[in-house]
Structure 1
Amino acid sequence: MKILKKILVALLIVFVIMQFFGPDKNEGDMASVDAFITETNPPDAVHEILKNNCFDCHSDVTKYPWYSNITPVNYWMADHVKHGKGDFNMSGWESYSVKKKDHKIEELIEEVGERHMPLPSYTWTHGDLTDEDIEAIVAWGKQVRAQYSAQIQPE
């Protein structure tokens, strides 16, 4: 029993020490999504959906809940944000070609339409999109794609 107690104390000490270390946070400026918002011109309702459900993982602006300060949760969240921004980064929109923008919006329509986004781990604490939210995002996405398709030159 003494060994078990020593192991538990050692684990507690390691856990406490881990709390002093963590990944860098993704706390950029809302201005980083201005180019995306200006170019894609989402209706107010869609803009709110994006802000409340997408910016956290797909832009340089993440709103962190209280539990994100607890290690190892902070590393898990940092990994989600890193992968989210790697797949689709609204803050990096200006650097995308028109063809890439069209493809990213196509993926957005597919992922949201098939309810793959937002991730279940995100919706547990933030709530899920309603059917109306999904319809609004898909309709807006199709309009944006039509604009990009008109700009893409045939090869």
Structure 2
Amino acid sequence: MKIFRIIATVLLIAFVLIQFLPKQINKSQTTSKADFMSVNNVPVNIKSKLQTSCYDCHSNNTNYPWYSKVQPVAMFLQNHIIDGKKELNFSEWDSLSVRRKKSKLKAIVNQIKDGEMPMSSYTIIHRDAIFSKAEKDEIVQWMTKTKDSL
């Protein structure tokens, strides 16, 4: 019983101490002129769904939930955001070449079709980020049309 108390105390102290680790915030005060939504004529319903389902990890402006202030959750979220922005950052869309934009749009279409995006780890908590069949079809059709028009 004594060993259990020691382990619990060490874990509690470690949990308290990691709360003091700095948290990076991915929050921009302005919308970039290079943003995907600014550059493209995105229909309102698609714009809304992309902002809800994609922009938290794939833009410079994340809407953080309350639990993002607690470590180690904050580190986990920050790693997802960093990885997401490395793959695609909607806030810097217009800085991409036409070839790269087409490639990204094709990848978006394939990942939505295959159910890879939004990630299941995100949709577990963000139920409103899940695409219905109709939403998937509409977004895929619009993204394909946009890609073909570049």
Instruction: Give the TM-score range, shorter chain.
Output: over 0.9
CA distance in 2, matches of 1:41, 1:78: 30
- Superposed displacement of residue 34, structure 1: 5.7
Query: Does structure 1 residue 137 correspond to structure 2 residue 139?
Result: yes
Matches within 5 A, 1:5-84: 5-32=5-32, 35-84=35-84
Matches within 5 A, 1:105-124: 105-124=105-124
CA distance in 2, matches of 1:83, 1:112: 18
Bigger helix fraction: 1
- Superposed displacement of residue 30, structure 1: 4.9
Aligned residues: 148
If the length of structure 1 is used for normalisation, what is the TM-score?
Answer: 0.90
Q: Is the 8 A contact 1:22 1:71 kept in 2?
A: no
Letter in 2 for 1:104: K
- Secondary structure of the structure 1 residue equivalent to 2:124: helix
Q: Which aligned runs of 4 or more in structure 1 are off by greater than 3 angstroms? A: none
Query: Does structure 1 residue 95 correspond to structure 2 residue 105?
Result: no
- Superposed displacement of residue 82, structure 1: 0.7
- Secondary structure of the structure 2 residue equivalent to 1:121: helix
Cα deviation digits, residues 98-132 of structure 1 (max 9, x gap): 11011101111110111100000110111111111
If the length of structure 2 is used for normalisation, what is the TM-score?
Answer: 0.92
- Secondary structure of the structure 2 residue equivalent to 1:47: helix
- Tell me the C-alpha RMSD between the 2 structures: 1.4
> Can you give the 5+ residue segments of structure 2 that lack an aligned partner in the other structure?
none
> Can you give the 5+ residue segments of structure 1 that lack an aligned partner in the other structure?
149-155
- Secondary structure of the structure 2 residue equivalent to 1:16: helix
Cα 1:121–1:32, aligned 2, differ >3 Å: closer, same or farther?
same
Cα 1:33–1:106, aligned 2, differ >3 Å: closer, same or farther?
farther
Letter in 2 for 1:70: V
Cα 1:81–1:33, aligned 2, differ >3 Å: closer, same or farther?
farther
Letter in 2 for 1:14: A
